[in-house]
Amino acid sequence: MDEAALVGTAREKLEGVRTVRLRIPARAGDVALARLALSGLAAIVSLSDALLADLKLALTEAVSNSVRHAYRDELGFVSITYELGPDVLAVEVVDDGEGFDPERPPLLEGDDGYSRKGPHPGEASYYYSRPHLAVSGTIERGQGKEQVTGSAWLDHEWSSDYLAPDAAGWDWCGINLENGGALMAFRIRKKGGGVIWAGGTLKTEQGKTVFTSAQVSFKPLRTWRSPRTSVEYPVAMRVTAGSESWDLEPLMNDQELDSRASTGTVYWEGAVRAMQGGKETGRGYLELTGYWKPLRM
């Protein structure tokens, strides 16, 4: 039976039902079951094709995260609850895997998590970060293992319409500042030169400052050319947000990522030091996209 027939059968059997619970093994091959159930329920509430596509994408990411990260090497289960209303379909994904306890609450970027990426309202994303996230792990070197701990930066961003048609790519940084604060800044570059949009957030002990497009700038200080792709990247940047500036210097020049087999692009993303007045004041990541070819999203 094909998906269309299964959806039709599901619609007949679920008419009048308001809560549906699905429990599936945390395996990659079973993620499709969650999407299939969603398609049948979406037909009941007459969800538009565009909204269904967005919800499928979000559901797939949520369930896939549980499959990949919740149980490590052990078999577990993922529970999906679908709640139906007259014109509403809500989905909740829960697993019983080992969670994490972040040291501080998430940083909602932009306007309480709504982050503009262009002059039009649709050119935006939902976006939050978790700076100074305590992490631990193991490094294997030769025959030995070494336990390590550190402070990480986690980003989660999603949207259905992300970049303006004339956008080439973006420059972005996320910096854990040594004083306990955090800096996120970005700019969307225009094809042929110029900037379409910029923005950023600075978290300090006093609170959060959200910067407008006019308040954020990226100034290249030094470039590096890849010996593999011949792409030239501005790997050292001066990032200005409001009245403060930070000079970002890479820990190493060669941090180019060739992801043509997955996302279809080549870009630079790597670890950097943040300097002010010649003194290191933070560490984090700098991401440079669209220098190989304009991004298609």
DSSP 215: G
- Rounded CA-CA distance 64/90 in Å is 18
- Rounded CA-CA distance 58/54 in Å is 6
Q: Percentages helix, strand, coil for the chain, rounded to the nearest 5?
A: 20, 50, 30
Residue 297: the pLDDT is 63
Residue 1: the pLDDT is 46
**Residue 296 confidence (pLDDT) above 90:** no
Paired residues of 217 in beta bridges: 240
Residue 65: the pLDDT is 83
**Residue 266 confidence (pLDDT) above 90:** yes
Total-model pTM: 0.71
More confident residue, 232 or 14: 232
Domains present along the chain, CATH in parentheses: 3-95 (3.30.565.10), 107-288 (2.40.370.10)
Residue 288: the pLDDT is 98
Among 11-20, 80-89, 103-112, the range scoring the smallest mean pLDDT is: 11-20
Residue 7: the pLDDT is 45
* pLDDT bucket at 57, cuts 50 / 70 / 90: confident
- Max avg pLDDT among 54-58, 87-91, 204-208: 204-208
**Residue 37 confidence (pLDDT) above 60:** yes
Helix 31-44 vs helix 49-69: angle between axes, to the nearest 10 degrees? 150
Residue 10: the pLDDT is 47
Q: Which two tokens stand for residue 102?
A: 């972040």
Q: Is 117 left (phi over 0), alpha (psi -120 to 50) or beta?
A: alpha
What residues contact 99, with CB distance under 8 A and at least 6 apart?
none
Among 150-164, 170-184, 201-215, the range scoring the smallest mean pLDDT is: 150-164
Cα end-to-end span (Å), the chain: 33
Q: Are 9 and 61 in contact (CB under 8 A)?
A: no
**Residue 203 confidence (pLDDT) above 80:** yes
